């Protein structure tokens, strides 16, 4: 194999059919935002029904003071990307008996809408832990009594319950 010393770099012109790039150096080719396309083509009713929301705990009964492990799963049941609008950059919330994140303090949710995106058949898992305490002031948490409590997860939408974007599970705290 011989090598030529006077060989320069490969030059391509914009007229070559397989040349990379365009004459002015910008990238040629187009990319498709599949989530946006799916959002535009998939009916709203189907988009909401396609997202499965699940909340679970590692057991049903807990001793007093034992941390409660909470697992949240969002699953796109469609074979196409899914995008759902939310009313806040905080896309989902959890609550214990209606107290958001086990707090009686007013929630500070920004009111900027955003979207929750999922790839085809994607599952998103989140883990939280509840210490069996309810926040009653900025720096004060009080332990809850023994009894039954409902843990709820929802997308941050006013119509989440109507759209099936809420799930709940019940646990028992023993004496």
Mean pLDDT value of segment 35-54: 74
Band (pLDDT 50/70/90 cuts) for residue 80 is confident
Average pLDDT over residues 1-25: 51
Counted domains in the chain? 1
Q: What is the CATH number of the domain that holds 43?
A: 2.60.40.10
Residue 3 belongs to some domain of the structure: no
Strand blocks (E) in the chain:
51-57, 61-63, 68-76, 82-86, 92-96, 99-100, 114-118, 123-130, 133-137, 140-143, 147-155, 166-174
Q: How far, CA to CA in Å, does 119 sit from each of 39, 77, 116, 172?
A: 12, 10, 10, 36
Residues 152, 165: Cα–Cα separation, whole Å: 11
Domain membership of residue 29 (yes or no) is no
pTM of the predicted model as reported, rounded to 2 decimal places: 0.74
10 domain-assigned: no
What does the pLDDT read at residue 59?
A: 96
| 15 class by beta-carbon count within 10 Å (0-12 exposed, 13-18 middle, 19+ buried) | exposed
161 inside domain: yes
Does the residue 127 lie in any domain? Answer: yes
C-alpha 52 chain-centroid distance: 12
In a domain, 9, yes or no: no
Please compute the mean of the pLDDT values over residues 31-35 and round it to a whole number.
Answer: 66
Edge-to-edge strands, sheet with 92-96: 61-63, 166-174, 147-155, 92-96, 99-100
Strands 114-118 and 133-137: unpaired
List the domain range (segments joined by +) for residue 166. Answer: 34-174
> How is residue 142 written in tokens?
């009080």
Whether 5 maps to a domain, the answer reads no
């Amino acid at each position: 194999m011989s090598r030529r010393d006077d060989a320069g770099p490969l030059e391509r012109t914009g007229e070559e059919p397989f040349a990379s790039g365009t004459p002015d150096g910008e990238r040629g080719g187009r990319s498709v935002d599949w989530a946006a396309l799916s959002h535009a083509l998939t009916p709203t009713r189907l988009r909401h029904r396609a997202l499965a929301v699940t909340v679970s705990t590692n057991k049903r009964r807990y001793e007093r003071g034992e941390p409660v492990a909470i697992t949240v799963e969002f699953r796109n049941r469609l074979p196409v990307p899914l995008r759902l609008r939310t009313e806040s950059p905080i896309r989902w919330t959890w609550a214990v008996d209606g107290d958001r994140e086990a707090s009686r303090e007013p929630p500070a949710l920004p009111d900027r809408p955003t979207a929750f995106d999922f790839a085809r058949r994607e599952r998103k898992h989140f883990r939280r832990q509840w210490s069996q305490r309810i926040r009653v002031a900025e720096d004060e948490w009080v332990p809850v009594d023994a009894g039954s409590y409902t843990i709820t997860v929802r997308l941050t939408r006013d119509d989440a319950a109507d759209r099936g974007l809420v799930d709940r599970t019940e646990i028992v705290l023993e004496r």
